[in-house]
Structure 1
Amino acid sequence: MSPHLSKEERQRQLLEASIRAFGALGYHRTQISDIIKEAGVARGTFYLYFKGKREIFDAVMTQLFDQVKGQIRDLPRDAADKIPDQLLGNIERIANLLLDNPLLTKILFNESVGLDAELDERLRKFYEQILDYIRRGLKQGQEMGFVRGGNNQILSIALLGCLKEVFYQSLLGTEKPNRQSVVQEIFRLVIAAISHPTIRPALEKLAM
């Protein structure tokens, strides 16, 4: 145990240990004893920071959402010619975050739904936050003439579903494509799915 860590450092230590435990065992199999063993702290130390497994899992989900959100840059309203590069940059940063943190991504994509109502609700809230972010981005793109019209609720769900499966297979599938291919194909997919017909040909040339 490291006795001289600050409160913030100790909390971060516990979060990192919980990510390793949840990633290796899954949420349902992980016990507090697994987390404190990973962290190298006493059980009492854990309860100084978290009430239990549910609360530390919530903290992990909040951290992941903040990290994903932090990778997204707003599309430039006054420079339409920069939108493709900004979109590609957003995709690349999110891909790097998820692929560089396989345990976090595994926790997010590999938890079973339907086994625990409270866990289901926490994951639902996480994805609803992501969907809301996508919907707002679609609306902004439509206002700028970059994104085609459509039902943004359905479009956001379709985009999220595609992205989840791509990253899931990239990390846990039997065939793992290289990172550049993942980013490029997602970029092409997004352009084909949501770009306005009047600018799609120009964008497709950029994606080649």
Structure 2
Amino acid sequence: MKKEGTLYRISELERLSGIPRYSIHQYVRHGLLPEPVRTGKTMAYYTQDHLNRLQAIAEIRGDSKLPLSFLKRALEESGGKGARVGKKGAPRQADERSAARVENRKRQIREAASRVFLEKGYQKARIKDITEAAGVSTGTFYIYYRDKKEVFIEVIDELIRSMVGPAEEVIRKGGDLIREATSIAVFYIQNYEYFSGIINQLRGMMAAEDPMARDKFVSLHYQLAEPIERSVRQAIEEGLIREVDPELLAHALMGIVEFLSIHLTFSQKHTPSQAVSFMTDLIMNGLRPSPR
């Protein structure tokens, strides 16, 4: 292995990078690579920096055919380290500072994408709409995401985390299950317009017979139900509620909250807190009349 400072002939650079020499010459002409070190009219040598940048270009390009203008911009924005645009679509910077920058930029694009999906719907949303909402270039988008579907999947994953996270925290801390479950239900109802808007986009993709959408919808459904089911089991163990089927109760509660949310979307008669208090009383006390 050659050390830093070693000079490469074009044949060596071609072999080590896996990039043909005509492409290397083209990259030099268009400013993606610096000029080689010339020791004569016909002798040109390339440095480790040339090899590093060629490897970065290969990483950015992946298995895609990309214009040179995009490659140049992507190379500059990735700091010369590269970020694959092909099958994976996600940058792989090693150091923590770079990783934080990557996540911040991805979050910026993801949040903009969620707004665009809600406004236009998944099918009508364009990459250009997302980049304009995020305030980034199209080239920047493709550094971090392969396509519209990939960023949509991350929006769904973020949605799941925001909905499941509070329930997981309650179970972890072992607090008042009834009180905390009530606050989570209120949170869901208060944010129902956003949650349902994104989930409905997923349902729309299912209607188009997208197998990925179906798998994601099933995953979302069971990831939401699982912490509720665990909470039910814990409540049974603590004697807070009688013995019931935890799985069925978890899904029944999800159904009640869903349709209460729909009702409150059209009616201002009750607040989310009032609706959840009613649901809690119904679950805990049933419909039997109070003893006189």
Residue type at the aligned position of 1:67: S
- Structure 2 residue 153 is matched with structure 1 residue 58: yes
Cα distance in 2 between the residues matched to 1:190 and 1:43:
51
Q: 1:174 aligns with which of 266, 279, 283?
A: 266
Q: 1:69 aligns with which of 160, 164, 186?
A: 164
- Structure 2 residue 212 is matched with structure 1 residue 121: no
- Structure 2 residue 230 is matched with structure 1 residue 136: yes
Q: In structure 2, what is the equivalent of residue 90 of structure 1?
A: 181
Q: In structure 1, what is the equivalent of residue 120 of structure 2?
A: 25
Q: Does the CA-based 8 Å contact 2:189-2:272 persist in structure 1? A: no
Unaligned segments of structure 1, at least 5 residues:
194-200, 202-208
Q: In structure 1, what is the equivalent of residue 276 of structure 2?
A: 183
Q: In structure 2, what is the equivalent of residue 155 of structure 1?
A: 249
Q: 1:8 aligns with which of 86, 103, 111?
A: 103
Unaligned segments of structure 2, at least 5 residues:
1-76, 78-99
Q: Does the CA-based 8 Å contact 1:71-1:94 persist in structure 2? A: no
How far off its partner does 1:14 sit?
0.7
Cα distance in 2 between the residues matched to 1:151 and 1:161:
15
How far off its partner does 1:55 sit?
1.7
How far off its partner does 1:46 sit?
0.9
Residue type at the aligned position of 1:185: F
Q: 1:102 aligns with which of 193, 207, 213?
A: 193
Q: Does the CA-based 8 Å contact 1:11-1:49 persist in structure 2? A: yes
Aligned-pair RMSD on alpha carbons?
A: 2.9
With a CA cutoff of 8 Å and minimum separation of 6, indicate the structure with the bigger relative contact order.
Answer: 1
Change (3 A) 1:75 1:56: closer
TM-score (norm 2): 0.55
How far off its partner does 1:164 sit?
1.7
Cα distance in 2 between the residues matched to 1:25 and 1:120:
21
How far off its partner does 1:75 sit?
8.2
The one-character-per-residue Cα deviations of 1:157-184 (angstroms, maximum 9, x if unpaired) are 21111112222333xx322432332332
Report the count of equivalent residues.
184
Q: In structure 1, what is the equivalent of residue 12 of structure 2?
A: none
Change (3 A) 1:31 1:191: farther
Change (3 A) 1:159 1:100: closer
SS at 2:266 equivalent: coil
Q: Does the CA-based 8 Å contact 1:131-1:156 persist in structure 2? A: yes
Q: In structure 2, what is the equivalent of residue 197 of structure 1?
A: none
Q: In structure 2, what is the equivalent of residue 205 of structure 1?
A: none
The one-character-per-residue Cα deviations of 1:115-172 (angstroms, maximum 9, x if unpaired) are 23321221210111111111111111111111222222222221111112222333xx
Change (3 A) 1:42 1:60: same
How far off its partner does 1:58 sit?
1.8
Q: Does the CA-based 8 Å contact 1:98-1:105 persist in structure 2? A: no
